[in-house]
Structure 1
Amino acid sequence: MESHNNLHQMKAADEVTKKKKSSRRSLIVNKLSCFRSSDHGYPTLDEIDGNGNVDMKSASADTNLHTPTHLIVMVNGLIGSAHNWRYAAKQFLKTHPQDLIVHCSERNSSLLTFNGVDVMGNRLANEVTSVIKRHPGLQKISFIGHSLGGLVARYAIAKLYTQDSTKLACQENGDSTTDASNKQCSEHISSGRIAGLVPINFITVATPHLGTGGHRQVPMFGGSNTVEKVAHHISWVLGRTGRHLFLTDKAQGQPPLLLQMVKDCEDLKFFSALQSFKRHVVYANAHFDHIVGWSTSSIRHRNELPQRKHLLRSGKYPHILKGETTNTIKQEGSMKSQVNSFKTARASMEEAMIRGLTKISWERIDVSFKGSKQRYFAHNTIQVNTPWMNSDGADIIQHIVDNFRL
């Protein structure tokens, strides 16, 4: 009888264990199901135009009662596509269903990303204009760019800002076709707007703002000066984009494009356009991003980067680092450390870009996937590029959403 009772207890214990395992599996499946689904756990209405561009709205929002007034433009990186931002777009619409329209840019995808920052920026500017025409109730605009997409967004906003300013100048000076009037129309009068909308947030994620030509700006090169020189000479492999990123483009005797993009030029007001946004944010990988270095994505000198050991993880956002974010060191010191002409040339351009961009106040958010199984894909994980593969970056997206200014 005793052995029979023991057998019964063992069977009962096995059943409990099986139920617990089944319950755990069910929780894991439910957690991951939103990543597998194209809805990512939140239904949206996707409006597709003739060019394949997708505008996303919340399926739960009653647009008859409340028309969204804020447009978010999300821009993909090198060899990317609009789909890379789909998970993030869903999270924005889940949190702000009544307020937002999210447009994941489609015009610069796949091999088209080799065409150059300027060509891609012009395409994006035209794309944004077409989106705004489809939604006349829009009042505000924000941009979020991943990697190369952040640079493309900077070029596009300059194009849109300058167009707005030119229109304003012409309106104030009348529509006369006299030479004098045409000269007046060419004068820059600031509208403070981007494509007619009020600019709010400009956010980049792992973007090489200083290019990839500087020392240690591409971690996969291992800091080797020889390897960086080789990459410098073969940057043409990535087309015009490669020449822009490695600062080897010098069209018609002009400085490299990224160097031009830190100030207002005669044709495009790069600095004024960027400055017009109320908020500027850079998210940067402090570890394991083999594509874009920490300093170029956070717009800092390498000797200004905080020591990693002094940075702590945030409780709510486990991959966000908090602590000392600036360790100011005189700029002259970083220049004296350069010992050869190749490094000196790179450092000089890097210095000019940092000086220009930091005239604007930036929120710097440092990120680390140290300890994560997805750490070696940090460049894509920070964006949740492919949700089933980069799911650990979900807290970064949530941080962007939670701190977004409407």
Structure 2
Amino acid sequence: MCTHSMPSAESQTRSETVEVGDARLGMDSSKMKNNGESVAKKKKKMRRISSFVPRFGCFRSDYDCATVERPDDGGSFDMESAPAASNPTHLVIMVNGIIGSARNWRFAAKQFLKKYPQDVIVHCSECNSSMLTFDGVDVMGNRLTDEVIAVIKRYPCLQKISFIGHSLGGLIARYAVAKLYGEVTTLKSSQENGESDETKDSVPKEKFKGKIAGLEPMNFITFATPHLGSKGHKQAPALCGFYTLEKAAFRASWLLGRTGKHLFLRDGDKNKPPLLLQMVNDSDDLLYISALQSFRRRVAYANARFDNLVGWSTSSLRRQSELPKRQNLSRSDKYRHILNVEAAKTANTQKEISLEAQVNRCKAIDMEEAMLRGLTKVSWERVDVDFKGTIQKLLAHSTIQVKTFWANSHGADVIQHMIDNFQL
């Protein structure tokens, strides 16, 4: 007779305890695994977020270029290599466009220091940012003048200076260099130091002749700058060349404050022509053209198409009839968005129109033609850019500057072209 022994209560309890323990162990290991995955996800998320957070002080760029960024109270910042083996002697001033800020030039500044780590200090201006860009070209030019003087005082080793402006920033820079040209800076510095008129007169004018803020002018570069304003036909591509829309934009230019009046040439009166028309000739007050001419080279980068804010003609300083045919142009192998590079030609020697004649004949003459004649009295290199084939062409006005890398990265080769051809 076969008999089955019943398990004792003690052994049954022990077995249940082991099973419960195994279950708890499984749950704990599962929790640990889930917690590990959660921590990994959080770290990944934090890395992703931190990539968008501005970093100050010493940092390493996306292209492995160690730099030092020194912000000031006004929001501007100087950028130089870290560590610097020598004192850089070349100051590069970068000026933002309308409703812009110093951060718009951050990518380009870092690329400059990657190429010339021991030679340049890059200052990204912030004195005309955001809504301050509605105050007018002259007011903003005066602000930039004061800012440049303050920067130069911080670096006594400086010997050379260059300006780079995007959009409206190019016009601001043109005004500022006229203010800084020759002895203007000498007089300002003397007044700040409390020197007498006799002391100022004793300073030899030859010392500052042909210089900008006492430094040797090297490069004056503009990106998508409306040199001829926005009033002319097809100078604001967003209006599609419709005269009705262009007239409506002219009437609505007050929305941009004094800057709108300057861009649409509405600020003239019986005694003076519009400011942009004044800025194409030397006057008793400011030597606009002489200041531009003092630079070793002047370069105008322009979007050949897809720029909805600034037309090809006004940004490249050409008449509509002088614009090259795109189908006849071939892209650069090294810089795939550079469509055409036009070397500097002999300056236009046409007789300039006097200020009085400009006032009297302002309605009769073509102001756009007058501005072209004035500005082409100095030679310009012209670089035409085309972002065809990329979705970023819709943001061409910002892409040419690489305003924000994640949205405008296709303009990096344009920035590199500028840097590779930069004169030290």
Q: Same fold (TM over 0.5)?
A: yes
SS in 2 for 1:313: coil
Moved more, 66-75 or 188-197: 188-197
Report percent identity of matched pairs: 60
Aligned mate of 2:215, from 197, 203, 208: 197
Q: 1:15 — aligned with what?
A: none
Aligned to 1:68: 88
Unaligned runs of 5+ in 1: 1-31, 328-343
Residues 192 and 226 (structure 1), Cα distance of their counterparts in 2 relative to 1, 3 Å cut: same
The answer to whether the aligner puts 1:130 opposite 2:150 as a matched pair is yes
Q: Residue 178 of structure 2 aligns with which residue? A: 158
Query: Are 1:357 and 2:369 counterparts?
Result: no
Counterpart amino acid of residue 72 in structure 2: D
TM-score by length of structure 1 reads 0.80
Aligned to 1:54: 77
TM-score normalised per structure 2: 0.77
Amino acid at match of 1:293: G
Counterpart Cα distance in 1 of 2:382 and 2:184: 29
1:100–1:302 Cα change, 3 Å = same
AA aligned opposite 1:216: K
Letter of the aligned partner of 1:295 in structure 2?
S
Q: Tell me the CA shift for residue 226 of structure 1.
A: 1.1
CA RMSD of aligned residues (A): 3.1
Residue correspondences, number: 352
* 2:233 corresponds to 1:210: no
Q: 1:77 aligns with which of 86, 97, 101?
A: 97
Match of 2:338 among 283, 303, 320: 320
Which of these residues, 284, 294, 316, is aligned with residue 302 of structure 2? 284
Q: How far does residue 189 in structure 1 lie from its aligned partner after superposition?
A: 9.7
1:61 is displaced (CA, Å) by 2.6
The match for 2:276 among 243, 258, 265 is 258
- Asked if the contact 1:35–1:387 (Cα under 8 Å) also holds between the matched residues in 2, the reply is no
Q: Distance in 2 between matches of 1:323 and 1:121?
A: 29
* Separation of aligned partners in 2, 1:347 and 1:155: 24
Deviation, 1:250, is 1.6
Query: For residues 262 and 323 of structure 1, do their structure 2 counterparts lie closer, same or farther at Cα, with a shift above 3 Å needed?
Result: closer
Q: Give the AA of the match of 2:69.
A: D
Q: Following TM superposition, by how much is the alpha carbon of 1:367 offset from its aligned partner in structure 2, in angstroms?
A: 0.3
Structure 2, unmatched stretches of 5+, are: 1-47, 55-60, 346-361
* Cα distance between partner residues in 1 of 2:275 and 2:326: 32
Larger radius of gyration: 2
Q: Secondary structure at the match of 2:402?
A: coil
Partner AA of 1:102 in structure 2? V
Find the partner of 2:68 among 45, 69, 74. Answer: 45
Q: Is the 8 A contact 1:199 1:277 kept in 2?
A: yes
Moved over 6 A (4+): 32-35, 181-185, 187-190, 323-327
Determine whether 1:273 maps to 2:291: yes
Q: Tell me how far 1:373 sits from its aligned partner.
A: 1.2
1:299 maps to what in 2?
317
Q: How far apart are residue 360 of structure 1 and its match?
A: 0.6
- Measured after TM superposition, the shift of residue 322 of structure 1 is 2.8
**1:369: which partner in 2?**
387
